Amino acid sequence: MKLYADQPANLNIVTGYGQDYVLINTQRHEGNLLITPDEVFANWAPGGFAGLTADDFVAVRNLQAQVAIIGTGVRQRFPAPALLRPLIEAGIGFEVMDLPAACRTYNILANEGRKVVAALLFEAAN
Q: What is the pTM of this model?
A: 0.90
Based on C-alpha coordinates, what's the Rg of the chain? Answer: 13
Mean pLDDT, 10 residues at a time, over the chain (126 residues)?
57 94 96 97 95 97 98 95 97 97 97 97 70
Q: 14-18 and 21-24: which strand pairing? A: antiparallel
- Give the span between the Cα atoms of 35 and 84, in whole angstroms: 18
pLDDT the model gives residue 100: 96
Q: What is the pLDDT of residue 103?
A: 97
CA atoms within 13 A of residue 108's CA, in its CB half-sphere: 9
- Quick one: pLDDT at residue 10? 86
